[in-house]
Amino acid sequence: MMDIIFNMLMIFLVITAFFMVFTKDISTAVIALPIYGAILVVIFVILQAPGPAIAEAVIAAGLTTVFFVITINKTEY
């Protein structure tokens, strides 16, 4: 049963990554970035690795988004 959840999360991860790459608007891509981080956190927890999971929750879902948002506000998009 856990295999089905794992495979579903992997497919969701691929969908999110393709959406982030192929969308037209920059702000939409930045909004999709924390979702990508959240899916990776759940996958790491299923694989029994809490250390990389907590680092992923801090870096990909937290800091990268913060810096991207400020950089987008400073540019003309």
Partner 1 sequence: MVYFILAIVLFAILTFYRVMKGPSVPDRVAAMNAIGVMFLLVLVLLSLYFDRKVFLDVALVYGVFLFVNVLIMAKYFTKPEKGEVGD
Partner 2 sequence: MSRMNAMFKKLYKLVLVVSLAIFLFIVFDEIHNLDNNSKRYLSEHYISEGVQETGAINIVTSVLYDYRAFDTLGEATVLLTAAAILSFLVPLGKDKMLGTTFTMIVSQTTKFFIPFLAVLGAYLILFGHLAPGGGFVGGVVMAVIPILLTITYRVEFSEYKFKPAKKKLAEDIGAIGFILLGLVGVVTGSNFLANGQANFGPGNTGELISAGLIPFLNLMIGIKVGAGLAIIFNSLIKEK
What would the two tokens of residue 11 be? 């497919």
User: CB of 10: closest distance to partner 2 in angstroms?
Assistant: 12
On the 0-12 / 13-18 / 19+ scale of CB atoms within 10 A, 51 is exposed
On the 0-12 / 13-18 / 19+ scale of CB atoms within 10 A, 12 is middle
Q: Where do contacts with partner 1 occur on this chain (CB under 8 A)?
A: 1-2, 4-5, 8-9, 12, 15-16, 19, 25, 27-28, 30-32, 34-35, 38-39, 41-42, 45-46, 48, 50, 53-54, 57-58, 61-62, 65-66, 69-70, 72-73, 77
Interface residue list for partner 2 (CB under 8 A): 18, 21-22, 50-55, 58-59, 62-63, 66-67, 70-71, 73-74
